[in-house]
C-alpha cells in the first residue's frame, strides 16, 4: 500500500481548482455566443456596405472555433517549450483580450455602433483570439491536471475540468439571461437593446473570470513531469512529496525519471493506432452534435415552440441538468471505468436524437422535445463530455503526449467548427434529417469505443508506454 504520510490533499485540490478555471473559461467562451448570436445577426443585418447572410452568420457564430483549431494545434509546441503553467498564462491573456475586443470591436478606430464589413472582420478576429485561448486551455488544462494528480483519483480530477466547462456554460446562460431581462421592460425594447448593447455586454462579462484566472495561474507550480524533462528533479520531488507524501512521491519520481530516459520521441513512435484512437475520440465527441445543442440552444427551443424569454429559461434548466450528470461522471469514472460510460452515453444520445428527429418530421412540439433534449445532453455529460478529455489526457505515452494531445485537440476543434458552421444550412435542408445524422454518429461512436479504445482505469501515465508498445 502506498505511503500517505505527508500527503496534502488541500494543496492538490487548490492547484486543480485554479487549473479548472481554464475549463470554466473554455465553457464560458464557447457558450456566450448562444445568447448573443441572434442579436449579433440583427446588428450586422443593418450594415449598408454588405449583405449579411446565413452563411456569414454561421461563420460568425462559430468563428471562435477557427482559433480553437489554431490553439489546439500549437498547444503541444507551447506546452513543450514554455511548459504547462506558462501555456495556461498565455491562454488567460488571450481570453481577456478577446472578451474586451468582442465587447468593442471598433477598438477606438472605427465609428462606434455602425455595422460594416470591416467591423464584422474585427469582431471575428477577436473571437478567433479567444478561440486560440480556448484551444490552448482545452489541451493544456487536462494535461496539467493529469500530470499533477495521483493515478487513483486522476480520472475524477480530470473530469472536474469538464464540470468546470459545463459550470462555465451554466454561468454564462444565467449571465446572458440577466443581461437580457434587465435591458428594458417590454419585449420589443429588449430586442432593440440587445441589438445595440446587449450582445456587447455578454462578451464583456467574460473579462472578469479571465482576469482572475490569469492572476491565479502565477501561484500554481509547474507539473513534476515537465520539471523532470527540464532537469529540475529537486523541484519536482518537492511538489510530488507535498502532493503524494515522501515515500510515494519518491516512487512516482523514479517512474517519471525512468520513462523520461526515452526522451521525446516522434509522434508515430508507438505506431499509428494510438494517434488514430485519440483523433477519433475527438472527432466523435463533436460529430454526435453536442455543440449544436449548446451553441444554438435558445434558437432550438424557440423552433420547438418556446418564446424568446422561455427559451433562455429552458437553456438554464438544461445547464443545471448538465451539471448534475457531469457530477455522475466525476463520481463513477474511477469506479466504473472509461469504456462503459462512453458506450452507455452513446446509446442514450442516439435515442435522444432519434426522438427529436421524429418530433421534427411529425411537427410535434411540446414538453416531449425538451425531455429528449435533456436525455441527449445528460447522456453526453455523463460520458463523452468529461471522459473524452480524461482519455485524451492519459492514453498517450509520456514521450509523445504533448504532440499527440495537440493533434487530438486540433481534430476536435476542426470537427467542432464543421458541425457548428454547417448546422444552420443543414437545418434549413431538414431539421429531422440533421438529427438523424447525429444519431448515426452516436451509434458509430459506441462501436468505435467497443472495438478500439483501451480501458485506462487505475493505470499510471507511465503504463501507457507499455500498453501501446504491445498494440502497435
Summarize pLDDT for 16-51 with one digit per residue, the tens: 999 999 889 888 887 788 778 888 889 998 888 888
Name the residue among 22, 60, 29, 25 with its Cα closest to residue 42: 60
Q: Which domain holds residue 109?
A: 9-220+262-469
Q: Is residue 60 part of a domain?
A: yes
Residue range 273-284: mean pLDDT, rounded: 88
Summarize pLDDT for 9-25 with one digit per residue, the tens: 788 889 999 999 988 98
Q: How many domains does the chain have?
A: 1
- How many CA atoms within 13 Å lie on the side-chain side of 300? 28
pLDDT at 444 over 90: yes
* C-alpha distance across the termini of the chain, in Å: 32
Rounded Cα distance, 11 and 17, in Å: 10
Q: Is residue 329 part of a domain?
A: yes
Q: Is residue 64 part of a domain?
A: yes
Q: Is residue 230 part of a domain?
A: no
Return the CATH number at 107. Answer: 1.20.1250.20
Residue range 53-77: mean pLDDT, rounded: 83
User: Which of 3-7, 106-110, 346-350 is least confident?
Assistant: 3-7
CB burial string 146-159: b at 16+ within 10 A, e below: bbbbbbebbbbbbb
The alpha carbon of residue 426 and the mean position of all alpha carbons in its chain are separated, in whole angstroms, by 23
Q: What is the percentage of the chain residues whose pLDDT exceeds 70?
A: 86
Q: Is residue 235 part of a domain?
A: no
C-alpha cell at 46: 443593418
Q: Is residue 423 part of a domain?
A: yes
Q: Is residue 252 part of a domain?
A: no
Could you give the 3-state DSSP secondary structure of residue 7? strand
Q: Are 391 and 462 in contact (CB under 8 A)?
A: no
The pTM is what?
Answer: 0.76
pLDDT band, residue 3 (cuts 50/70/90): very low
Q: Is residue 170 part of a domain?
A: yes
Rounded Cα distance, 220 and 230, in Å: 18
pLDDT at 425 over 80: no
Beta bridge partners of 131: none
Bin 6: left if φ > 0, else alpha if -120 < ψ < 50, else beta: left
- How many CA atoms within 13 Å lie on the side-chain side of 219? 11
Give, in order, the Cα–Cα distances in Å from 351 to each of 122, 348, 403: 41, 5, 36
Name the residue among 200, 195, 194 with its Cα closest to residue 52: 195
Amino acid at each position: 500500500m502506498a505511503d500517505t504520510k505527508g500527503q496534502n490533499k488541500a494543496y492538490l485540490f487548490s492547484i486543480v481548482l485554479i487549473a479548472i478555471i481554464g475549463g470554466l473559461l473554455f465553457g464560458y467562451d464557447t457558450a456566450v455566443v448562444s445568447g448573443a448570436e441572434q442579436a449579433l445577426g440583427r446588428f450586422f443585418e443593418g450594415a449598408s456596405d454588405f449583405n449579411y447572410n446565413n452563411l456569414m452568420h454561421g461563420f460568425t457564430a462559430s468563428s471562435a472555433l477557427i482559433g480553437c483549431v489554431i490553439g489546439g494545434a500549437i498547444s503541444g509546441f507551447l506546452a513543450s517549450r514554455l511548459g504547462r503553467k506558462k501555456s495556461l498564462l498565455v491562454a488567460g491573456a488571450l481570453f481577456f483580450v478577446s472578451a474586451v475586443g468582442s465587447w468593442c470591436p471598433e477598438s477606438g478606430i472605427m465609428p462606434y455602433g455602425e455595422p460594416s464589413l470591416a467591423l464584422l472582420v474585427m469582431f471575428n478576429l477577436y473571437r478567433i483570439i479567444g478561440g486560440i485561448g480556448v484551444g490552448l486551455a482545452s489541451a493544456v488544462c487536462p494535461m496539467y491536471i493529469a500530470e499533477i494528480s495521483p493515478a487513483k483519483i486522476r480520472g475524477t480530477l480530470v473530469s472536474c475540468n469538464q464540470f468546470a466547462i459545463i459550470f462555465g456554460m451554466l454561468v454564462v446562460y444565467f449571465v446572458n439571461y440577466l443581461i437580457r431581462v434587465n435591458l428594458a421592460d417590454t419585449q420589443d425594447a429588449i430586442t432593440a437593446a440587445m441589438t445595440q448593447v446587449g450582445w456587447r455586454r455578454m462578451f464583456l462579462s467574460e473579462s472578469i473570470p479571465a482576469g482572475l484566472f490569469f492572476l491565479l495561474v502565477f501561484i500554481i507550480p509547474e507539473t513534476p513531469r515537465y520539471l523532470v524533462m527540464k532537469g529540475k528533479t529537486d523541484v519536482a520531488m518537492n511538489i510530488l512529496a507535498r502532493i503524494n507524501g515522501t515515500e510515494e512521491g519518491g516512487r512516482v519520481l523514479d517512474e517519471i525519471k525512468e520513462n523520461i530516459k526515452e526522451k521525446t520521441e516522434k509522434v508515430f513512435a508507438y505506431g499509428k493506432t494510438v494517434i488514430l484512437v485519440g483523433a477519433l475520440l475527438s472527432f466523435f465527441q463533436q460529430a454526435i452534435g453536442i455543440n449544436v445543442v449548446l451553441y444554438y440552444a435558445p434558437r432550438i427551443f424557440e423552433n420547438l415552440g418556446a418564446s424568446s424569454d422561455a427559451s433562455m429559461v429552458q437553456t438554464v434548466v438544461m445547464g443545471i441538468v448538465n451539471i448534475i450528470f457531469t457530477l455522475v461522471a466525476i463520481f463513477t469514472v474511477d469506479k466504473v471505468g472509461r469504456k462503459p460510460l462512453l458506450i452507455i452515453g452513446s446509446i442514450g444520445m442516439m435515442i435522444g436524437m432519434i426522438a427529436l428527429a421524429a418530433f421534427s418530421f411529425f411537427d410535434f412540439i411540446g414538453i416531449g422535445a425538451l425531455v429528449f433534449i435533456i436525455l441527449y445532453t445528460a447522456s453526453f455529460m455523463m460520458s463523452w463530455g468529461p471522459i473524452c478529455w480524461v482519455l485524451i489526457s492519459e492514453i498517450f505515452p509520456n514521450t509523445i503526449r504533448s504532440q499527440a494531445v495537440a493533434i487530438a485537440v486540433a481534430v476536435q476543434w476542426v470537427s467542432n467548427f464543421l458541425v457548428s458552421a454547417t448546422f444552420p444550412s443543414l437545418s434549413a435542408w431538414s431539421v429531422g434529417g440533421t438529427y438523424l445524422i447525429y444519431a448515426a454518429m452516436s451509434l458509430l461512436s459506441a462501436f468505435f469505443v467497443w472495438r478500439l479504445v483501451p480501458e485506462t482505469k487505475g493505470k499510471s501515465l507511465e503504463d501507457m508506454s507499455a500498453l501501446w508498445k504491445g498494440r502497435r
